[in-house]
Chains A and B, each alone.
Chain A
Amino acid sequence: MANTKNIKQKANSTPDRKLDFNGDWSYAPSLEGTEHIKIEKRYGLFIDGKFSAPKSGKYFATINPATEAKLSEVADASAADVDLAVKAASRAYEKSWSKLRAAERGKYLYRIARMIQERAREFAVIETMDGGKPIRESRDIDVPLAANHFFYYAGWADKLEYAFPGKKPAPIGVAGQIIPWNFPLLMAAWKIAPALATGNTVVLKPAETTPLTALKLAELIRDCDLPPGVVNIVTGAGTTGAAIVQHPSIHKIAFTGSTDVGKLIQKSIAGSDKKLTLELGGKAANIIFEDAPLDQAVEGIVNGIFFNQGHVCCAGSRLFVQEAVIETVVAKLKDRMESLIVGNPLDKNTDIGAINSASQLKTIQQYIQIGKKEGAEFYQSSCTIPAKGFFCKPTLFLNVSQSHRIAQEEIFGPVLAIQSFRTIEEVIEKANNIPYGLSAGVWTDKGSKIFNLTSRLRAGVVWANTYNKFDPSSPFGGYKESGFGREGGLHGLYPYVKF
């Protein structure tokens, strides 16, 4: 009994159980260098293997969301510019790419993959400058994964008959691809690699706030000696995207972005023979059972909602914690949030970078106001955020109701809605009670519980005891209003072939 007495004595001397995560020792700035980075003052459109000025004559600025400084100007492609790009892609499809031996297509893709690896640092730094994500993520996740996607689909190029046994897969033609601002280079890789591997040519439009890495990819593709017109990259906003969607010579649309725009696209191509894949919004349930490895689950919650500032369609933005452990989990989560560093995305120690744009920051702030009005308990970490640039502290809402808008609508920011649950039936019902169905997470020590949930959660991806894991060989895509079609893996070839 000496020990219990001992513990009590010591306990009395330290009644305050708060942990101090600031203290004397802080990390000095460790900035990734930008002096080797070459960004042109102005970028034209990448059509038919070269950069050219837009017929529209119009340009718009792209800024660094962490500093609000202008980085470059990019062309605003009009319908006439898009037409040129589609014509170049059609020519390339007819003349060279669809006739090339499959193994040769594969070689080009391998070359692109290797060159991304060679220029990895440059891509990572520009991705961070243009989009605001921390260099830790662009360096360790976005750029390596982008290269891996090209490697993966390079391997499929000459093995398509094994992917579709007994069938004769043929390319479709010109693919129009429209990608979002949250993973600019990675999404370009997800779109371009399978299209090229299967013998299609592409016209790709990056998002208007993050065009630079796609344009650097255009330079890289030019340096790879890819036949002109196989990949065309046109920059612009919604009207440029609409011109791609409506162009009669495009046979396939692949879109990643918001559900609203996805619906518009589907409406506008109704009645045409265009093939379509949509990867849209999400509001994923991340479910923690009482028998879960709690410290790892907390890390999974953080990776689920604060990865890329929460600008992730599959973000674990709804957290469900079983009631017996919710106090423990929330306390651990709050501690963990204190050690998250919010700030300059180019600092290697930054965990949470800048919100992608002023308008997205406004959206997030509006949802925070809505959450407060709805009566959920609001919590933010004690970190400081830079005065300039677009930043948002990591945010929790506790005691959230299923009917709250912050539990129903996609916020696309570092804002987590937390609910507790008691039974498995209850949590499955709540998790599925949403228009979206992109992803979910399950945390438990019991394998049987995992399989029970994976088969009953209506989500395209379910992670067990981990979150936000991506691999080129694993298909990704949604149910319901999160879209249809799969990207990645063998399944990612289907949208780009006909039989």
Chain B
Amino acid sequence: MQYLPPKSPSVDQVGAEEKVARICSRSIKKDSKMYALKMALNMIDLTTLEGKDTEAKVMQMCYKAMHLHDQAPNNLNLPTVAAVCVYPVFVATAKKTLNGSTVKVASVATAFPSGQSPIDVKIRDTQFAVESGADEVDMVISRGEMLRGNESYVFDEIAAIKEACGQARLKVILETGELNNLDMVRRAADIAMYAGADFIKTSTGKISPAATMPVVLTMLEAIRDFYRATGVMVGMKPAGGISNSKTALHYLIMVKETLGQAWLNNNWFRFGASSLANDLLMQIMKETSGLYQSADYFSKD
């Protein structure tokens, strides 16, 4: 019990929604829009997490991660995405395909997405991902224990997985769609950070709602308070349901105005998304040419 973080402040849903509305009223144009679109592209964890995933699909996605839109003019200097995110069994394939690039390999672990397994299985799952070459591990918390108030279980589990990660960075998925309210989101975020999370992440993408703006705002505020209290920076990853550029830009505004410039890079902020990249590319091409191109001009991998 002595490990648990200090009391978390309460969060008011109505106030959080109002603040979100205010953030969404920001207007991003011209240079600042182009800058943000590229920044968002560079923050994506390109993700495939399906039972029907194949090695070929993972290899294709890895190629896309490094070559987002080779048809774009060179002077656009398109970035790569930040990482690919796959199940543990595909980590070795992804690692091999991405060899020599800056794109990282993230692996979900700990009986993703439900987390309904004993701790030793989760540790082994994590070790397997790390041994296969994962640079980052995306774990899920035990929502059942969180909801029934067993905070120390959740804390100890995260700490144990952190230890199993070794050098790999740990992203802790709170699965906020299963937590009842923003107070619990805030508490879970605090527990994860005090237990050693390098990143906190909203969702698995398997539960609806996935990332919502009030939830992300609450988590960013938790990160800010943790940084003020400890001096430690923790990253943020909204995941699931972020498929268009406008939403992505709103998230970036939220980061800028809550945490500031230091978090506006893929060391500290990620989007977990599968279809966002193409929408960003479409917007970037539109900013360049003045015309929207058909979705058929952008490869789907």
Contacts and interface: CB of A to CB of B under 8 A. Distances in A.
B224 interface: yes
Interface stretch (B66-74, B85-93, B114-122, B226-234): B226-234
A6 B231 CA distance: 12
B260 A20 contact: yes
Interface string A36-58: 00000000000000000000000
Interface stretch (A67-75, A289-297, A480-488): A289-297
Contact of B12 (A23, A348, A465): A465
Given A2-B196, A20-B261, A21-B256, A27 B10 contact: no
Given A19-B259, A28-B30, A293-B15, A3 B231 contact: no
A334 to B, nearest CB: 11
Contact of A19 (B15, B35, B159, B262): B262
Which one of B221, B259, B260 has the greatest number of beta carbons of chain A within 10 Å? B260
Nearest to B162: A3
A296 B26 contact: no
B100 interface: no
B294 to A, nearest CB: 28
Given A2-B163, A296-B12, A466-B14, A21 B230 contact: no
B32 A26 contact: yes
B9 interface: yes
A24 B32 CA distance: 10
Contacts of A27: 26-29, 32
B5 to A, nearest CB: 11
B50 interface: no
A225 B5 CA distance: 66
Interface string B93-122: 000000000000000000000000000000
A445 interface: yes
B15 A466 contact: yes
A296 B264 contact: no
Given A17-B228, A465-B14, A25 B196 contact: no
A136 interface: yes
B297 interface: no
B123 to A, nearest CB: 13
Interface-central residue, B19, B194, B233, by most chain A CB under 10 Å? B19
Contacts of B25: 136, 140, 348
Interface residues of B, number: 46
Nearest to B155: A3
B3 A4 contact: yes
Interface in B31-81: 31-33, 35-36, 39
Contact of A349 (B9, B27, B196, B232): B27
B280 interface: no
A299 interface: yes
B285 interface: no
A6 B162 contact: yes
Interface string A309-338: 000000000000000000000010001000
A399 interface: no
B262 A293 contact: no
Interface string A276-299: 000000000000000111111101
Interface stretch (A8-16, A162-170, A366-374): A8-16
Contacts of B230: 7, 11
6 contacts: A3-B3, A11-B230, A28-B31, A295-B15, A295-B16, A339-B257
Given A6-B162, A6-B196, A293-B12, 10 more contacts: A3-B3, A10-B233, A12-B231, A25-B36, A28-B33, A30-B27, A291-B10, A293-B10, A299-B15, A331-B228
The 7 closest A-B pairs by CB, nearest first: A23-B261, A296-B15, A3-B196, A30-B27, A293-B12, A19-B260, A339-B257
Interface of B: 3, 9-12, 14-16, 18-19, 25-33, 35-36, 39, 158-159, 162-163, 194-196, 218, 221, 224, 227-228, 230-233, 252, 256-257, 259-262, 264
